[in-house]
Amino acid sequence: MSITNHEDLAGIKAVSEAVGVTLKKMRDYAQPGMSTLELDEYGYEVLKQYGANPAPKLTYGFPGYACISVNHEIAHGIPSAKVILKEGDLVNVDVSAELNGYYADNGGSFILGQDVQQLGPLVEASKRILQKAIQQIKGGVKISEVGRLIETEAKKAGYKVIRNLVGHGVGRSLHEEPSEIPNYYDRFNTSRFKKNSVVAIETFISTKAALAQESGDGWTYVTKDGSFVAQHEHTILVTDGAPIILTEANQIWS
């Protein structure tokens, strides 16, 4: 969406704070021995305190309030009483919501407890690359050039990017134009970021795989080759200078 008045700005800031705080609190609440269903239900209680509605369920009928993906799951993992978090798990929580007709989206991967799988460098690379990418975004910048930066930085760190999961516009619905903000350089994408637009920028940084594959449950994306993937995401407002990070309350860079 394009922010054209104070009402729109206040609306997008309010829902962005709701999803940002929810993501942070879910990350802090997660512990070994807990099911992903319990973590999801906790997050829903936080969203309800803001009067916000979980966007995946509202928009797509997703069987959960947030997407919670563990280890070789990349995205859209379904919260389940059967999935018990363990020490050292790579956990991704993606929270999006609607509040008073406005939508925001954010996510982050983290290691639960001790880094027994030695995935700390992957998580830190994803955070660092997202931060660097966002710093380059302003009105008029080619979307493909930000994709090139993400892909180049991933390669420098010894990683790959997932090519079939992308960032997107957001605001009056969960997914808007621009419909694709890839993690790689697409020379056929001539679109540019527009001043005053709201977009969800996300990294998908992989130890090996370049593509996400459907798991068979209709929702979850996984790696089939044993790869791990770290994702981090902010909803931002594009300006003619430094972008405004609307979901900064998630503290994914802390």
How far apart (Å, rounded) are the C-alpha atoms in residues 72 and 60? 23
pLDDT of residue 20: 98
Across residues 40-52, what is the average pLDDT? Answer: 98
**Per-residue pLDDT tens digits for 109-134:** 999 999 999 999 999 999 999 999 99
CA dihedral 91, 178, 170, 123 (to 10 degrees): 20
**Per-residue pLDDT tens digits for 177-214:** 999 999 999 999 999 999 999 999 999 999 999 999 99
Asked if the model's pLDDT at residue 69 lies above 90, the reply is: yes
Asked if the model's pLDDT at residue 60 lies above 90, the reply is: yes
SS (H, E, C) the chain: CECCCHHHHHHHHHHHHHHHHHHHHHHHHCCCCCEHHHHHHHHHHHHHHHCCEEHHHHHHCCCCCCEEEECCEEECCCCCCCCECCCCCEEEEEEEEEECCEEEEEEEEEECCCCCCCCHHHHHHHHHHHHHHHHCCCCCCEHHHHHHHHHHHHHHCCCEECCCCCEEECCCCCCEEEEEECCCCCCCCCCECCCCEEEEEEEEEECCCCCCEECCCCCCEECCCCCCEEEEEEEEECCCCCCEECCHHHCCCC
- pLDDT band at residue 254 under the 50/70/90 scheme: confident
- pLDDT band at residue 39 under the 50/70/90 scheme: very high
How far apart (Å, rounded) are the C-alpha atoms in residues 70 and 72? 6
How far apart (Å, rounded) are the C-alpha atoms in residues 123 and 112? 12
Across residues 154-181, what is the average pLDDT? Answer: 97
Binding site listing: 76, 94, 105, 168, 175, 202, 233
| 2 in Cβ contact with 197 (< 8 Å) | yes
Across residues 4-30, what is the average pLDDT? Answer: 97
Q: Which domains does the chain have, with CATH numbers?
A: 6-250 (3.90.230.10)
Q: Give the mean pLDDT of the chain.
A: 97
Binding site listing for substrate: 76, 175
Binding site listing for a divalent metal cation: 94, 105, 168, 202, 233
How far apart (Å, rounded) are the C-alpha atoms in residues 82 and 30? 15
Question: By C-alpha distance, which of 230, 219, 227 is closest to 153?
Answer: 230
Across residues 211-223, what is the average pLDDT? Answer: 96
Across residues 1-28, what is the average pLDDT? Answer: 97
